[in-house]
Amino acid sequence: MIEVRNLVKEFDGTMVLKNIDATFQKGVVNIIIGKSGSGKTVMLKCLVGLIQPTSGEILYDGRNLTTMRSGEIRRLRRDIGMLFQGAALFDSLTVLENVMFPLDMFSRKNRRERRKRAEFCLERVDMLQAANLLPSEISGGMKKRAAIARAIVLNPRYLFCDEPNSGLDPKTSQVIDELISDITTDFDITTIVVSHDMNSVINIGDNVIFLNEGIKEWEGSKSQVMDADNEKLNDFVFASDLFRKIKVAEEIISEEEKGG
Amino acid sequence: MSIISSLESVGEYALLLKRVLTPPDRFSQFMKEFQKGVYALGVSSIWIVVIISFFIGAVIVLQIALNIDSPMLPSFTVGVVSREIILLEFSSTIMCLILSGKVGSNIASELGSMRITEQIDALEIMGVNSANYLILPKIAAFVVFMPVLVIFSMFTGLFGGYIICMVLGTPSVETYVYGIQAFFNESFVWYSIAKSMLFGFIISSVAAYFGYTASGGALEVGEASTRSVVMNSILILASDLVFTQLAMG
Ligand SMILES: Nc1ncnc2c1ncn2[C@@H]1O[C@H](COP(=O)(O)OP(=O)(O)O)[C@@H](O)[C@H]1O
Ligand SMILES: [Mg+2]
Residue-level pLDDT at B72:
82
pLDDT average, residue stretch A15-26: 94
Residue A198 lies in a domain: yes
Closest ligand 1 atom, residue A194 Cα = 23
10 Å CB burial of residue B19 (0-12, 13-18, 19+) is middle
Residues A108 and A72 in one domain: no
Distance, CA B57 to ligand 2 centroid (Å)? 56
Among B residues 105-164, those touching chain A with beta carbons less than 8 Å apart: 114, 117-119, 121-122, 124-129
Closest ligand 1 atom, residue A35 Cα = 21
For the residues of B124-158, what is the DSSP string, one character each? HHHT--HHHHHHHHHHHHHHHHHHHHHHHHHHHHH
CB contact under 8 A, B121 and A75: no
Out of A117, A136, A155, pick the residue that ends a domain.
Answer: A155
pLDDT, tens digit, for every residue of B115-152? 999 999 999 999 999 999 999 999 999 999 999 999 99
Q: Closest approach of chain B CAs to the CA of A48, in angstroms?
A: 7
| Contact residues, chain B, for A134 at CB < 8 Å | none
Residue B125 lies in a domain: yes
Q: B219-247 burial string, b = 16+ CB within 10 Å, else e?
A: eebbebbebbbebbbeebeebbeebeeee
What interface predicted TM-score (ipTM) does this complex get? 0.88
Residue B175 lies in a domain: yes
CB contact under 8 A, B125 and A77: yes
| Contact residues, chain B, for A102 at CB < 8 Å | 126
Cβ–Cβ < 8 Å for A79, A116: no
| Contact residues, chain A, for B122 at CB < 8 Å | 82, 84, 88, 90
A16 within ligand 1 shell (Cβ under 6 A): yes
Residues A146 and A167 in one domain: no
CB contact under 8 A, B127 and A89: no
Out of A155, A178, A198, pick the residue that ends a domain.
Answer: A155
Residues A161 and A235 in one domain: yes
Distance, CA A57 to ligand 1 centroid (Å)? 20
CATH code for position A222: 3.40.50.300
Residue B19 lies in a domain: no
Residues A68 and A99 in one domain: no
Residues A223 and A100 in one domain: no
In whole angstroms, give the CA distance from residue B87 to residue B158.
Answer: 9
Residues A204 and A237 in one domain: yes
Residue B11 lies in a domain: no
Residue A85 lies in a domain: no
Residues A97 and A48 in one domain: no
pLDDT, tens digit, for every residue of A93-109? 999 999 999 999 998 89
End-to-end CA separation in angstroms for chain A: 45
Residue A68 lies in a domain: yes
Distance, CA B36 to ligand 1 centroid (Å)? 36
pLDDT, tens digit, for every residue of B11-62? 999 999 999 999 998 999 999 999 999 999 999 999 999 999 999 999 999 9
DSSP single-letter state for residue B24: -
Q: Which range of residues forms the domain containing residue B65?
A: 27-248
| Contact residues, chain A, for B131 at CB < 8 Å | none
Nearest-CA neighbor of B126 among A103, A63, A116, A3?
Answer: A103
CB contact under 8 A, B127 and A78: yes
Residues A208 and A180 in one domain: yes
Non-local CB neighbours of A120 within 8 Å, separated by 6+ positions: none
Residue A195 lies in a domain: yes
In whole angstroms, give the CA distance from residue A209 to residue A4.
Answer: 12
Residue-level pLDDT at B46:
96
Cβ–Cβ < 8 Å for A184, A178: no
Cβ–Cβ < 8 Å for A225, A205: yes
Write down the mean pLDDT value for chain A: 91
pLDDT at A260 over 70: no
CB contact under 8 A, B121 and A50: yes
pLDDT at A240 over 80: no
pLDDT average, residue stretch A11-25: 93
| Contact residues, chain A, for B125 at CB < 8 Å | 48, 50, 77, 80-82, 160
In whole angstroms, give the CA distance from residue A190 to residue A196.
Answer: 20
In whole angstroms, give the CA distance from residue A191 to residue A197.
Answer: 17
Residue-level pLDDT at A99:
97
Residue A86 lies in a domain: no
Residue B105 lies in a domain: yes
CA angle A228, A230, A235 (to 5 degrees): 100
Out of A100, A124, A155, pick the residue that ends a domain.
Answer: A155
pLDDT, tens digit, for every residue of B70-117? 788 888 898 999 999 999 989 999 999 999 999 999 999 999 999 999
pLDDT at A151 over 70: yes
Residue B228 lies in a domain: yes
> How sure is the predictor about A27, in pLDDT bands with cuts at 50, 70 and 90?
very high
Residue-level pLDDT at B249:
67
Residues A185 and A246 in one domain: yes
10 Å CB burial of residue A59 (0-12, 13-18, 19+) is middle
Residue A84 lies in a domain: no
Cβ–Cβ < 8 Å for A98, A88: no
Distance, CA A44 to ligand 2 centroid (Å)? 9
> How many domains does one find in chain A?
2
Residue-level pLDDT at B107:
97
Please tell me the least confidently modeled range out of A108-117, A208-217, A233-242.
A233-242
Residues A178 and A255 in one domain: yes
Residue B154 lies in a domain: yes
Residues A38 and A53 in one domain: yes
Q: Which range of residues forms the domain containing residue A185?
A: 2-79+157-259
Closest-CA residue of chain B to A74: B127
> How many domains does one find in chain B?
1
Residue B37 lies in a domain: yes
Residues A102 and A174 in one domain: no
Distance, CA A11 to ligand 1 centroid (Å)? 9
Closest ligand 1 atom, residue A43 Cα = 17
pLDDT, tens digit, for every residue of B156-193? 999 999 999 999 887 888 999 999 998 988 889 999 99
pLDDT at B248 over 80: no
